[in-house]
Structure 1
Amino acid sequence: MSIQDKLASLPMEPGCYIMKDQHGQIIYVGKAKKLKNRVNNYFTGAHDYKTTKLVSLIHDFDIIVTDTEKESLILEINLIKKHRPRFNIMFMDDKSYPYIKITQEKYPRLSVVRELKKDKKANYYGPFPDASAAHNMATLLNSIYPLRKCRSLPKKVCLYYHLGQCLGPCEFPVEENIYPDMLKEIIQVLKGDDKDLRKRLTAEMQKATDVMNYEKAIEYRDYLRSLDHINDKQNVNQETRTDRDAFNYYEKDGVLTIAALIVRGGQLMDRHLVSDILVEDAQESFEQFILQYYDKQVKPKELLLPFGMDIQNLEEILEIKIHQPQRGELRQLMDLVLKNAMNYHRQYGMMIQRNQSKQDKALDDLAMLLSLEDVSTIELVDNSHTQGQLATSAVVVFKQGKAFKQDYRIYHLHNNADDVRNMEEVIYRRYLRMLKEEKRFPSVLLVDGGFLQIQGTLRSLELLDVNIPVFGLVKDERHQTSALMDRNGERIELKDSIETFYLLTRMQDEVHRFVLSQHQKRRSKAQTYSVLDDIEGVGPKRKQALLKRFKSVKGILEASEEQLSEVLGPALAKTIQQRIQAKQEMV
């Protein structure tokens, strides 16, 4: 059935429409109250740049009829999340924000996590603006309050007990009210109210000073300073400590900008500012953003949205209290969010349009250079090793010229310094897995290397009966991309397209950065291996404490039992030195 026939037979009912390109790949998903009106609009009249580009690529479409608009909204978000179509505004990347997790166990633990789970045995607090803020708060609370640190209870107390940072419930009884009282104070601090903790720390500091225990007094002083540093945030609401998120948007010249302020305990914890070129109605795209955001983030007690938009579906789907303030302090907060959106739009709106235009031109020129119809998905492969050791390969993925980091992969290889065999191995492993999982292959495969690497890549693909266009990245004496090489060893010069040159350079830099960073992690891990790793009872935390005290493994091995006991306690120090001596005698 032709597109025109399909358009004529569309129903006047709610549902989702799925646009596909000539390869059957989903390039856009939308929803509509009346499918017939919405879908027909794409094929009539004039459109802006991005919508015109979308329509030019549509070769087919499907529809899914739903009973209600709410159902179509839920279906739309699930389809976007599953297929990640290129023309849908994917405001949210896979970044997740850090939270502090407190387990609801008999002996609770406090830790920093990024993945929020529906966990009835834990409570989450946040989000924090960045990982350092979350870890600083967790470190401070774990230092002040002796919560359990180990994942599973050992048979005997660990280093934290000797440092006074754990009550040792694995070996000693703990009164029933101790942990609940601690948690009550901790939760109070996490909600932004640290007055009681400050009062207690100040009293303890004064008490230690009175008895001339100055080291302890300095410790309490440092705790207070850490609180000052962590809580040095902008108060946006002094009268209430309600957790609330405020979202607003601004649209002009085909670009949508969304701003959000995240308020926890009356304090501004974070803000989001994102822009993208519009295909759909601005309010519908804004609605999509809200649902995408709360698919990964904890919902607050209150959500503030601009007055005038229809919130019924959002309220039912999110199951959250939504306000649309028209006056007072909350209206001032919404005005502040809108002001942030407008400022960001003025700074970056035009730049986003220019960058999109340049990126589209770079991809069009690349397709012409390579004589290909489709270059929408490009994978790049690069290898790294240190004198033949710890051979590592990385695959990075670009979709429509943008890095798609959730599809990045790292491989540990087995051919030492043989770069061609390493290339054969990673290609075979990569695409064998994709065959088994029935995943779509990339439009183009770029390997970091010359003719030999290209031939090795083609051998592995032929074994798998996989057909992907393969080209090599040719570098100059400065190790920068200067040309491409085809499967016959012929150079393809880039000098006629500066946009394509910059695009490929950015891609090459990214795959090089990724493989080097992963290889360096392996190398660092190998270099920090020592005799301590073979001694039972010395885990990462104890090893870190020893290295902090004695500066090096050599310093630890040369330390006396008395010096070790200052860090580990006498019993453990004696055991550690006996085992170190036994290891040395075996050498």
Structure 2
Amino acid sequence: MSEPSVQLQIQTLPDNPGVYQYYDKEGKILYVGKAKNLKKRVSSYFNKVHDNARTNVLVRKIATIKHIVVETENDALLLENNLIKKHQPRYNVMLRDDKSYPWICIKKEPFPRIFPTRRMIKDGSEYYGPYTNFKIVHTLLDMIKELYPLRTCNYDLSEKNIDSHKFKVCLEYHIGNCKGPCEGNETREHYEKQVEAIRQLLKGNFKHSLREFKTQMQQYAQDLEFELAQRMKVKIEALEKYQAYSTVANPKITNVDVFSIVSDESAAYINYLQIMHGAIIRSHTLEIKKKLAETDAELLELAIVEIQERFSLQFREVIVPFSIDLGERIRVTVPQLGDKKQLLELSERNAKYYRIEQLKQLQIVDPDRHTNRIMAQMQKDLRLPVEPRHIECFDNSNIQGTNPVSACVVFKDGKPSKKDYRHFNVKTVEGPNDFASMEEVVYRRYKRLLEENEPLPNLVIIDGGKGQLGAALKSFDALGIRGQVAIIGIAKRLEELFYPNDPIPLYLDKKSETLKIIQHLRNEAHRFGITFHRDKRSKTALVSAIEEIPGIGEKTMTSLIKKFKSVKRLKEASEADIAEVVGASKAKKIINHYQTNEQKST
């Protein structure tokens, strides 16, 4: 359809909540979205140029707009989630996580068995989980087995089969792991009582079992059955140990669901914790690949609906880092302090650890994508017009005002390009003047690049505060490249980033990858500059020391500098070693000179 047709479709959209779908001219679905107000939301796509290039491409491809009106925003969330999973539109975020997780099943049968499984069968059985790995499942089942002796056989223990003595007790009965319900040695009522206690444990409620075991222990002790009392004590200790391990917050916090989000330019990581009686009974992290610069609020809402549907959950209260709209039925809490705030911080740590793990894997299996992600993040963090694929950093070195030099290090795609490193002897500045030195070397560096038609960097970093940045900008103005190349200064003490004509510095997160790369650049420039400065000072000292020796001319001096590099090495060299360079006669003069000076000093 032509553009007017799209505008006509927008005009006919209702002001109700609902879900909209974009199709291209071939009828292929491009994007699914939700909205409080369909007309306003869809119109916003077409009345401006978007910062995100991918969104602009999407808008150009839209030929048909379809919509579905729903009663509430919560209904829109659920419908959007279902349509995305059904159609998998190209421009929607990708929900990464399709593996099956282990559950604990309480089988619907007489004398129910309890076992781990990855398959959920709709036969009326109860399923608890999912758990992130089988290690947690086995830990729970081992504890349950220690506390409650249940059957493990798959016999049909109907009343008819038990009354007809169809089955015989097995080894599990004889070693105490089962009470033998197959022969009628355990009543159904007693067995169900144990199963109910296990349900409470799986929900994170330990009070019921602890109270029951303590009552039995006291009764056995009163009846002088100390061996049985000791068994109860062992069970109590095992349960208390597991409770202490699993309880992370106030036990009064029950039936609460915690969500946090950590995101970068390409993906978001949403962690989910389910809390019962202060214990985590479920933890899950979902990765969402970004497509159209979605906000954290949009992604968090999407993830909550996805997790709710995936695990068949009913939320009453959710703890989140910022306010979102999940409908009237769900209470949204944004804690500022206390136990709930600690739970949110715990969830955020889990999301960060998961992100770090995924990024490490990405760096190994897809280094190009890893580099692209970092470059996009640096562009966003540093407010740059383009990705800083080529960065140059300058540092001055003039220890005690002597031998002023400057270093320029080069990073390409976030990594050092050592073949492009350059050092400069400061030529026009007298004495220790960092500002003038910076102005000179920046001018010389980019004058040469311009003359040789070499590409200019995307970003220049000046190691220093406002003064050094201002000096570098003078050279940019003189060369006419101000505005063509981004330039910032970094102050050493507080890691402040200064921008031209902006008195307020930028502070990056201390743990951000952008700041780490900038610090790497600054440290590398400092190292490279100090090394060059040290070499120059050694050479100057050697020249001075050689000039003092009578009968040694400039040519001989050059040969000695090339060979021995420092005064110390020259003094320690044997007459034969020196003679190899300058001949026996001059070698003797040098040895005699140093021996005479040593005698005078003693």
The structure having more radius of gyration, on CA atoms, is: 2
| Length-normalised TM-score, structure 2 | 0.47
Q: TM-score, normalised by structure 1?
A: 0.48
